[in-house]
Structure 1
Amino acid sequence: MKIATKTNPRYSALVATLKDASRTNDAGVWREIAKRLEAPSRNHAEVNLNKISRYAREGETVIVPGKVLGSGVLSSGVSVAALNFSESAIDKIKNANGTCMTIEDLVKSNPEGKSVRILR
């Protein structure tokens, strides 16, 4: 049986970056995100804005190991890091005074992984 590997070079590089950041900064959050991204893409998270609004507080950083979808209303300004965003999700996050970023950007700005909430 052939072992499936990721064909998207961005995912392979991101997983390697996350594992390296986990080792060098002793941050288990990056190891957990790398483990979730190594799974098949059908198992990646798809999180709607209403779930982010329900679990995240004002000014908090949320990471989604998958895609953020625009269903729902975001009432507070939160920083959201994910693999992908829908166009409506980007608009709604920015209108709520939040920020959208890639997981790569979050690892660069917060290598220790402090105060990050994982949603799936």
Structure 2
Amino acid sequence: MLNDTLIDNTIWILRKAFKKNKAQIWKALEKEFSKSRSNRRLINIKRLDKITNNGDIIVVPGKVLGNGTLGHKLTVYAYSFSDTAVNKLSTAGAEIISLHSLINKYPDGKGVRIIG
């Protein structure tokens, strides 16, 4: 039940951000989080290293896992992170950001990419 409540809150926050800012990325993320749990994305640090560049701002609508290493700085929001992923992201100088902070910092969604 707790997980369902967190998802419902996340969807509500994204819907509110879309209505306020009219940024399509928040609507797209709302759709991603509305999918069933079995369709949520899992992405390893190794893949993030390959498909992102230094300074990118990314959203993973799922879980970031700790396999691999990251060689540059990112700003990352994900629904969840493994403990190993958090350690590796911190070591690489990446910023793990909350959904509220992400929306407040980038209300129009410019420069924010959905990964996974």
TM-score w.r.t. the length of structure 1 is: 0.89
Q: How many residues align?
A: 115
Identity of aligned residues (%): 28
AA of the residue aligned to 1:44: R
User: Is 1:58 paired with 2:54?
Assistant: yes
Aligned residue number for residue 9 of structure 2: 13
TM-score w.r.t. the length of structure 2 is: 0.92
* Unaligned stretches of 5+ residues in structure 2: none
Aligned residue number for residue 110 of structure 1: 106
8 Å CA contact 1:84, 1:102 repeated in 2: no
User: Is 1:77 paired with 2:59?
Assistant: no
Within the candidate set 88, 91, 108, 2:87 is matched to 91
CA positional deviation for 1:108:
2.7
CA shift in 2, pair 1:72/1:23, >3 Å: same
**CA offsets, 1:84-119, max 9 Å, x none?**
000110111111111112333312322211101111
Question: Which structure's CA Rg is the greater one?
Answer: 1
Residues in 1 aligned to 2:16 and 2:56: alpha-carbon distance in whole angstroms? 24
8 Å CA contact 1:19, 1:31 repeated in 2: yes
Aligned residue number for residue 31 of structure 2: 35
AA of the residue aligned to 1:82: A
Residues in 1 aligned to 2:36 and 2:82: alpha-carbon distance in whole angstroms? 20
Structure showing the higher helix proportion among its residues: 2
8 Å CA contact 1:83, 1:102 repeated in 2: no
Give the root-mean-square deviation of aligned CA atoms.
1.4
CA shift in 2, pair 1:16/1:22, >3 Å: same
